[in-house]
Structure 1
């Protein structure tokens, strides 16, 4: 099972559109679409879980694809290590 990062998503993207986009390339096992807590709009990124070969097919097909004028960034999730995130300094 691979977890895929999808970035530069449109603000008005729905969960159904998000999963349907990836379902064209295989079975979506799970997903998480980041939403603004106040407006409920998409924050521009999300995560999808798919089987390995299906995930690689989705990454290859969707990375750089155009969705409503936005160039999608799709790749395998990278673990957040000591340098990732907003840690203490």
Structure 2
């Protein structure tokens, strides 16, 4: 059993301190990390809690999974190790390079010229 827990469906209003207080009832909390959107800074509604020991982690899962916190039913589970990301491909984020899968730089019909072929 891991000491690190995944917490899902967290209220967007919840703070790390709110989560620390909630999980502190089950045992000593080492750290809390609420995940936010990298571009907007807005909460994504999930995070991770690391308990001081496995007993506290198991107790937190048993006591908190499926309970209502700040008007939302939260999910508490053992965190899975992060898997390496593969196959995302180039600058286009897996969508075919620069053009987003739509024909190169022109973003559409046939490469650079946007679909025109040699006419002037």
Indicate whether the TM-score tops 0.5.
yes
Higher relative contact order (CA 8 A, sep 6+): 1
Task: Give the Cα separation in 1 of the matches to 2:40 and 2:82.
Answer: 27
Task: Give the Cα separation in 1 of the matches to 2:17 and 2:41.
Answer: 15
Runs of 4+ in 1 over 4 A off after TM superposition: none
Task: Give the Cα separation in 1 of the matches to 2:54 and 2:35.
Answer: 23
Deviations 1:57-89 (A, max 9, x none): 01111100011221101000112347xxx6426
Unaligned runs of 5+ in 2: 89-120
Q: Which structure 2 residues correspond to residues 1-89 of structure 1 after superposition, within 5 A?
A: 2-37=3-38, 39-50=40-51, 51-81=53-83, 87-88=86-87
SS at match of 2:29: coil
Structure number with the higher strand fraction is: 1
Length-normalised TM-score, structure 1: 0.83
Unaligned runs of 5+ in 1: none
Task: Give the Cα separation in 2 of the matches to 1:69 and 1:60.
Answer: 19
Length-normalised TM-score, structure 2: 0.63
* CA shift for structure 1 position 38: 5.1
